[in-house]
Amino acid sequence: MIEGIRGLHHVTSLSSDAVRNNAFFTETLGLRRVKKTVNFDAPEVYHLYYGDEAGTPGSVMTYFPFPGIARGRPGTGEVGTTAFSVPADALEFWKKRLSGMGVDGLKEDESFGEKRLHFGGPDGDGFALVETGDDGRAPWTGEVGADHAIRGFHSAALRLRDDGATAELLRYMGYREIDAKDGVTRFGIEGGNGADFVDIETMPNIALADQGAGSVHHVAFAVKDRARQLEVRKALTDTGYQVTPVIDRDYFWSIYFRTPGGVLFEVATNEPGFDRDEERAHLGEALKLPTQHEHLRAFLEEHLQQITDRGTAW
């Protein structure tokens, strides 16, 4: 079994509009934008990161906003719902806030004994807030007070046609089956960073998703450092997974592999973090470019959509 996976690190999704995306995550959900950079492979597209004060692994939602791309078609082989953790009794506040701000798809239910509020992101992205009584993670309180603010991720729910091989993979990664109900199996990890759950929803008759705006591109799991990451990489390749070489993502190091159910997994390091090139007090303010794209700065500053932030919260 693989040692050292510490829960989720980040979730990366696709968006059709950087400005709307930024406003939704910073103003509506009250997360902090912790980095404004560009896609390594397509530098004319932003890579925006939102999370807690420091962008702590387990709190970071990231987006590639490709201007005007078509919406994805939901289906299997993808993350269906990304859930954030909020304090006990916070859902009433969120229901009022989100409905008052015109957010779509509000629906309350309960999952494994926890109260949950589903809502849609700006591109129809599948999100939920889950009331957890014992989440000790400190929230960012830019727009939403500490009594209600998001603590970080609670879980990611994978929608799969066939759950068997992916369940086996999660167990190999150190997850333990906690419960199963209504076609959903919950896995949890001991000693995680708070973003400790992965759900598998089995839907054998649903077609594979087509990715587009509102789709999750990949989900990343956290490891402490590069030494641990190399051990994880070896364990995965020894088991037959095709894993990419270690890639420098400036704020963490990454390896990627496609899971049997079709979802793209990443294993990312907690080092070096988002304050590598900006002071903690000013995270996310300046446009940061990967070194190899620095020569494009003048062009990018002129052509990237201008993101205007409200207020002085950051």
Of the pair 135, 266, the CB lying nearest Zn ion is at 266
Q: Which range of residues in 6-14, 151-159, 237-245, 282-290 is near Zn ion by CB under 5 A?
A: 6-14
Q: Nearest 5°: phi and psi at 173?
A: -80, 0
Residue 97 CB, nearest approach to Zn ion (Å): 28
Burial class (CB in 10 A: 0-12, 13-18, 19+), 117: buried
Of the pair 125, 163, the CB lying nearest Zn ion is at 125
Determine the size of the site formed for Zn ion (CB under 5 A).
Answer: 3
Helices and strands, counts by H and E, the chain:
5, 16
Residue 238 CB, nearest approach to Zn ion (Å): 23
Of the pair 70, 247, the CB lying nearest Zn ion is at 247
- Omega into 272 within 30° of 0, i.e. cis? yes
Q: Residues with Cβ < 8 Å from 25, sequence gap 6 or more? A: 31, 33, 48, 50, 61, 63
Residue 57 CB, nearest approach to Zn ion (Å): 11
Of the pair 97, 249, the CB lying nearest Zn ion is at 249
Q: Which range of residues in 125-133, 213-221, 228-236, 284-292 is near Zn ion by CB under 5 A?
A: 213-221
CB atoms within 10 A of CB 291: 8
Residue 220 CB, nearest approach to Zn ion (Å): 4
Residue 260 CB, nearest approach to Zn ion (Å): 20
Residue 257 CB, nearest approach to Zn ion (Å): 12
3-state helix, strand, coil in the chain (%, to 5): 20, 35, 45
Of the pair 9, 186, the CB lying nearest Zn ion is at 9
Q: Taking the CA atoms of the chain, what radius of gyration do you get in angstroms?
A: 18
Of the pair 163, 266, the CB lying nearest Zn ion is at 266
Of the pair 127, 265, the CB lying nearest Zn ion is at 265
Window 36-55: residues binding Zn ion (CB under 5 A): none
Pairing of strands 184-189, 175-181: antiparallel
Window 263-282: residues binding Zn ion (CB under 5 A): 266
Residue 219 CB, nearest approach to Zn ion (Å): 8
Q: Residues with Cβ < 8 Å from 82, sequence gap 6 or more? A: 11, 13, 61, 125, 126, 127, 128, 153, 155, 156, 157, 216
Pairing of strands 216-223, 264-272: parallel
Burial class (CB in 10 A: 0-12, 13-18, 19+), 293: middle
Q: Which of 2, 12, 21, 94 binds Zn ion (CB under 5 A)?
A: 12
Q: Which range of residues in 31-39, 120-128, 169-177, 216-224 is near Zn ion by CB under 5 A?
A: 216-224
Residue 229 as a binder of Zn ion (CB under 5 A): the answer is: no
Of the pair 12, 270, the CB lying nearest Zn ion is at 12
Torsion over CA: 4, 153, 186, 136 (sign) = positive
Q: Which range of residues in 130-138, 163-171, 212-220, 287-295 is near Zn ion by CB under 5 A?
A: 212-220
Window 238-267: residues binding Zn ion (CB under 5 A): 266
Residue 181 CB, nearest approach to Zn ion (Å): 30
Residues forming the site for Zn ion (CB under 5 A) = 12, 220, 266
